[in-house]
Amino acid sequence: MSEGKQRHGCLAAWLVLMIIVNAATALFYLVGSAAIKQNFPSAPVWAFPVLAVVCIANVVCAVALFRWKKWGFFGFIGTSIIAFIVNLMVGVNIVQASFGLVGFAILYGVLQIGNERKGWTQLD
């Protein structure tokens, strides 16, 4: 952690959760895409590798945020938009596809917690 910067516990917990969930989801997209394809038979072949890359990018963005890099937050916005579009193309309904957009809203919220330990103002 950078000298003098302190992370609020909720932010640290959310980033760890995002790393674990996105890594597991990327693995699932890579090895379990056949099972997903059964539920979405019209899904294009390229969709699952793209979603796996999006999840890997989310892990990179979470690590960047652990290192106090603001671009990690904007990376989450970009990957969330990409995932939303791909999910719609796969055949996921708009309500379910929108749940992915909630993730960066929660991230923004936890970056605002903590007065002197507020994560957003400490990002470079």
Q: Which amino acid is at 13?
A: A
Find the DSSP H helices in 32-70.
33-39, 47-66
Is 3 inside a domain boundary? no
pLDDT exceeds 50 at position 1: no
- Residue 7 gets the label, from left (phi > 0), alpha (psi -120 to 50) or beta, of beta
- Residue 3 gets the label, from left (phi > 0), alpha (psi -120 to 50) or beta, of beta
- Residue 68 gets the label, from left (phi > 0), alpha (psi -120 to 50) or beta, of left
Q: Which residues contact 22 (CB under 8 A, 6 or more apart)?
A: 55, 56, 58, 59, 62
Q: What's the pLDDT at 112?
A: 93
pLDDT tens sequence across 86-116: 999 988 999 999 988 898 899 999 999 988 8
pTM, two decimal places: 0.91
* Domain count along the chain: 1
Q: How far apart are CA 65 and CA 50, in angstroms?
A: 22
pLDDT tens sequence across 22-78: 999 999 999 988 888 888 888 898 999 999 999 999 999 999 999 999 999 999 999
pLDDT exceeds 80 at position 3: no
Is 76 inside a domain boundary? yes
Is 4 inside a domain boundary? no
pLDDT exceeds 70 at position 2: no
Q: What's the pLDDT at 27?
A: 96
